[in-house]
Amino acid sequence: MGSTSDLPILRKAADFLEKMEIPFEMNALSAHRTPAQVEEFSRTARDRGIKVIIAAAGMAAALPGVIAAMTSIPVIGVPINSSLDGQDALLSIVQMPPGIPVATMGINGAMNAAILAVKIIALSDADVAERLDRYRESLADKIVKANEELAKIDTYRFKV
């Protein structure tokens, strides 16, 4: 994350990764204030076993793109709503030059970033794929149960 003020948003990603039993690192790194540390993190990520990077930032939101420029590991960007309703961060992350892609989630979309990261990891890890499948089934179960509850509610029938 670009700043610890982003932690409430990124906590959703951390919680999901824990639920999926995916080990992860969590760091506050700033492309503008700690560029040497960002470079060190990016260049050594593969050696530490990192398979996907979720990078969140607000305002100028340079962090995801700077990390993507320094590693071949997939980077998922999460624009944070810290100013201009997050539009500045969204545009900063999504408008990457050719050759430096960053998969970009919606504003404050840390949960979807974590799910996409798990999907990428699941491509080469059958155990992770099985846990992800169970999670996806639970999503469907929630909707089925919600519809069962809705069916119990008396509603007015409109005739056409």
Query: Given a cut of 70, is residue 160 above it in pLDDT?
Result: no
Which whole number is the average pLDDT over 50-61? 96
Task: Find out whether 26 and 3 touch, Cβ atoms under 8 Å.
Answer: no
Confidence (pTM):
0.90
User: What are the structural domain ranges in the chain?
Assistant: 4-151
Which whole number is the average pLDDT over 45-74? 97
Which pLDDT score, from 0 to 100, does residue 147 have? 85
Name which of 25, 23, 28, 46 is nearest 38 in CA terms. Answer: 28
Mean pLDDT over the full length of the chain: 94
Fold that domain 4-151 belongs to in CATH: Rossmann fold (3.40.50)
- Cα distance between residue 73 and residue 42, in whole Å: 9
Query: Given a cut of 80, is residue 158 above it in pLDDT?
Result: no
Query: Given a cut of 60, is residue 159 above it in pLDDT?
Result: no
Query: Given a cut of 70, is residue 131 above it in pLDDT?
Result: yes
Query: Given a cut of 90, is residue 144 above it in pLDDT?
Result: no
Beta strands in the chain (DSSP E): 53-58, 75-80, 103-104
Report phi then psi at 105, rounded to 5. -90, 175
Which pLDDT score, from 0 to 100, does residue 142 have? 87
